[in-house]
Amino acid sequence: MRPWTQVPPQQGRRFVITGSNGGLGLETARILGSRGAEVVMACRSVEKAEAAARTVPGHDKGRVEVRRLDVSDLSSVRSFVADLSADGRTVDVLVNNAGVLGVPYALSAEGVEMHFATNHLGHFALTLGLLPLLTDRVVVVSSREHRSGRIELDDLGWLHRPYRPFQAYGDSKLACLLFMRELDRRLRARGSQLRAVGAHPGATATSITSGSGNPVVTAIGHYGHRLVGMPGWRGALNTVYAATTDVEGGTYIGPHGRTELWGWPALARMSPKVDDEVLAHRLWERSVELTGVDLPALQER
C-alpha cells in the first residue's frame, strides 16, 4: 500500500471539528491548518481549546477559531448551531470527531447513556442543525468496535440490563455508521450534492480512555495505545482523507492493514449491521424524538 500523505490544498475551505482540543481532533485540525484551511475548533473546554489552537498552523493568521460545544448536552448543541448560523458564513465540512470511551455509567438530560449521547445523539442534532450551512460533506468518526455493537432502542438508558461501558461504546459507534449511511441515503433522495462519509483511526495513541474513572483501564489505554498504536497524525489521516478527497457518499475509510489497526487510508470494512435499513430508520426516528431535530429543507448549492 502506497502511503497517502499528500493532502490537497484547502485554502478557502472551512471545517468545523468537534472535540479538537486534543487527540485525533487536534491532529486533524493541525493537518488541515497546514494545508491552508480555516478551522473552527468546537470543544467543551474553551480554555483547553484555546491553548491547543495555538499549535494549529494558521492560528497566527486568524484562520483558527475556538467555540464552545458540549455534544453530550443538547442545549449546548442548540446554542452552538444558533451562534454559528448567525455568522452568515457557510461551512464546507463538518467533522463529527468528539467521543468518549469506557466512561462510568451516567445519563444525559434526555435519559440516554453517555456514550450514546456523546458519540451519536449530540452529533445527530449538530449535523442536522448545521446542514443548511454545509456545502460539501459530513465526516462521521466511528471505530472498529462498531462491529460488536447492538442497539437496544427501547433501553438507551441501560435501565434493564447490566451496564457494560465497552459494549455501550461499541453500540454508539454502530449508531454513528447507521446514521452516516441513512443521512447519505436521505440526502441523495432529495437530490442534494452534500454527502456523508465515515472514518476510523485504527489503533492510535490518544488519551480517549482518560475519562474512564478506572485507573487500570486508563493506564492500559494510555500505555497500550502508545506501545502498539500509530502516532496521532497517522490515525487522523483517515479522517482527513474522508474529508478532503473525492470519495462517494456512504464510504468508510480506515487503515489499510489486514486488521485495520495500522496502515494508510483505504476503504474499510463495515459490519453487515450497518446495511440494516430498517434499524437505521428506527434509529433515525428515535433520534428525532429525543432531539427534536429532523432533516431541514436544503437549498441548492
Active-site residues, by number, are 169
Distance of alpha carbon 77 from the chain centroid? 14
The Cα–Cα gap between 202 and 293 comes to 31
Q: Which amino acid is at 35?
A: R
SS (H, E, C) the chain: CCCCCCCCCCCCCEEEEECCCCHHHHHHHHHHHHCCCEEEEEECCHHHHHHHHCCCCCHHHCCEEEEECCCCCHHHHHHHHHHHHHCCCCEEEEEECCCCCCCCCCECCCCCEHHHHHHHHHHHHHHHHHHHHEEEEEEEECCHHHHHCCCCCCCCCCCCCCCCHHHHHHHHHHHHHHHHHHHHHHHHHCCCCCEEEEECCCCECCCHHHHCCCHHHHHHHHHHHHHHCECHHHHHHHHHHHHHCCCCCCCEEEECCCCCCCCCEEECCCCHHHHCHHHHHHHHHHHHHHHCCCCCCCCCC
Cβ burial of 289 (10 Å; 0-12, 13-18, 19+) is exposed
